[in-house]
């Protein structure tokens, strides 16, 4: 048998070396792509500031235990307090008295949330469910809250941006 002279190396050996070089080149390309993606991810993470954690007492949606909401209608629209009370119950609030506000009570805004010192956290949760409501601290020793519905009232709704508790 005679071998043809092919520049010093048989063709099988040349093919093998070419395949090894190609494999190493592909491995290098994959590693460079991976490193580039990690670098881009690190740059993006550095640009995005961490969000501040909400304070649980004023931003959680869950009504605090032991807080009762009395719903009072200060408008001429009949049944508004009942509808609001039903919606509050569906959103796991404990509802007490439902009826009309005392004669002569006039509110042009959406609502007032009247609370004592002990009912402040519950009032803050309720305020997230009644857009435009104004919190008013009154002299009250218990945790009971009054939701007084005014002329500008639309509905009791869950907040659009629910926080984590």
- pLDDT for the residue numbered 145: 94
Indicate whether 83 and 98 sit together in one domain: yes
Q: CA-CA distance, 42 to 64, in Å (whole number)?
A: 40
Task: Give the residue numbers spanning the domain of 10.
Answer: 1-50
Q: Which two tokens stand for residue 14?
A: 């040349």
DSSP label at 74? -
Whether 161 maps to a domain, the answer reads no
Q: Which of 74, 76, 84, 97 is nearest to 156 (CA)?
A: 84
- pLDDT for the residue numbered 52: 37
pTM of the model: 0.61
Where among 50, 69, 87 does a domain terminate?
50
- pLDDT for the residue numbered 60: 59
Indicate whether 62 and 141 sit together in one domain: yes
- pLDDT for the residue numbered 50: 42
Mean pLDDT of each 10-residue bin along the chain, 165 residues long = 58 85 86 75 51 42 80 92 91 92 89 92 90 92 93 81 53
Indicate whether 38 and 106 sit together in one domain: no
Whether 36 maps to a domain, the answer reads yes
């Amino acid at each position: 048998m005679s071998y043809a002279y092919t520049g010093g190396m048989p063709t099988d050996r040349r093919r093998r070396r070419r395949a090894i070089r190609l494999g190493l080149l592909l491995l290098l390309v994959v590693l460079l792509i991976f490193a580039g993606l990690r670098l881009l991810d690190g740059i993006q993470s550095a640009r995005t500031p961490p969000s501040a954690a909400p304070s649980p007492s004023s931003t959680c949606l869950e009504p605090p235990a032991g807080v009762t909401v009395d719903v009072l209608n200060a408008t001429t629209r009949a049944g508004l307090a009942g509808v609001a009370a039903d919606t509050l119950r569906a959103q796991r609030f404990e509802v007490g008295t439902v009826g009309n506000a005392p004669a002569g009570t006039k509110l042009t805004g959406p609502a007032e949330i009247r609370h004592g010192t002990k009912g402040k956290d519950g009032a803050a949760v309720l305020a997230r469910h009644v857009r435009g409501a104004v919190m008013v601290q009154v002299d009250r020793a218990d945790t009971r809250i009054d939701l007084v519905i005014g002329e500008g009232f639309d509905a009791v709704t869950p907040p659009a941006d629910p926080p984590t508790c």
